[in-house]
Amino acid sequence: MLISAFLFALSQPTSEWPTGPMIEGHGPHAPVEITMAIPEDTVLRHAFDAVRLEDDHTSRTLQSAARFTNMHAAAGLSPEQIQPAVVVHGRAVFAVVSPERFAEAHDGADNPNNDLVEKLLANGTRIIVCGQSAAAQDIETADLLPGVEMALSAMTAHALLQQEGFTINPF
């Protein structure tokens, strides 16, 4: 487990990496000379699992979804070929709530994820909240940012996404 955490930390982007071309200001990625070809007809339907917020209330998982989008667009895939989804549960549900609901739960603070969530949704990322986690945090569907979906549970969301051909991010 310690080795996995170390390798994960080493794989995190640096501040010098570019963002965009689809989600500017988020999702930094490294230019890579690839030798594993991406077939022209590839469609990447990939689900991420967001369960926690960082100490500054940002979601590393939402940034990973932006990186996934940006790096594949930079590699030449069209927006139609890049179809990420983020299943949000646990305390991470606060990453995708309205400014008012976030401020209520975090001593008047602004939600640092709002811009990223808006850009992810505008670029075709599905963001789905676990209804069970939302209920545990006293969050209602009306508290979610526009475009964010509410599922019965994270397990339900992942099962349905898998039936739609989504793979799941391994970490």
pLDDT for the residue 16: 84
Write out the residue range of the structural domain in which residue 120 sits. 44-168
d(CA 137, CA 133): 6
The pLDDT score that the predictor gives to residue 155 is 97
Q: Give the pLDDT band of residue 23 (cuts 50, 70, 90).
A: very high
Decide if 32 is inside a domain: no
**Torsion, CA 112, CA 100, CA 88, CA 91, rounded to 10:** 90
Instruction: Count the helices and strands in the chain (H runs, E runs).
Output: 6, 5
pLDDT at 6 over 50: no
Q: Is residue 3 part of a domain?
A: no
Strand partners, 5: none
Q: Is residue 7 included in any domain, yes or no? A: no
Q: pTM for this structure?
A: 0.90
Give Cα separations from 123 to 7, 62, 139 (angstroms): 29, 13, 25
> Is 86 a domain residue?
yes
How many domains, the chain? 1
**C-alpha dihedral sign at 127, 57, 11, 123:** positive
Residue 128 lies in a domain: yes
9 within some domain:
no
CA distance 74 to 31: 8
Residues 22-37: what's their mean pLDDT? 93
The tokens for 66 are 């932006």
Question: What are the residue ranges of helices labelled H in 82-170?
Answer: 99-105, 114-122, 131-136, 154-163
**pLDDT tens digits for 109-127?**
999 999 999 999 999 999 9
Residue 64 domain-assigned (yes or no): yes
pLDDT for 41-91, tens place per residue? 999 999 999 999 999 999 999 999 999 999 999 999 999 999 999 999 999
Domain annotation covers residue 16: no
pLDDT band at 169 (very low <50, low <70, confident <90, very high): confident
pLDDT computed for residue 159 by the predictor: 97
CATH, residue 50: 3.40.1260.10
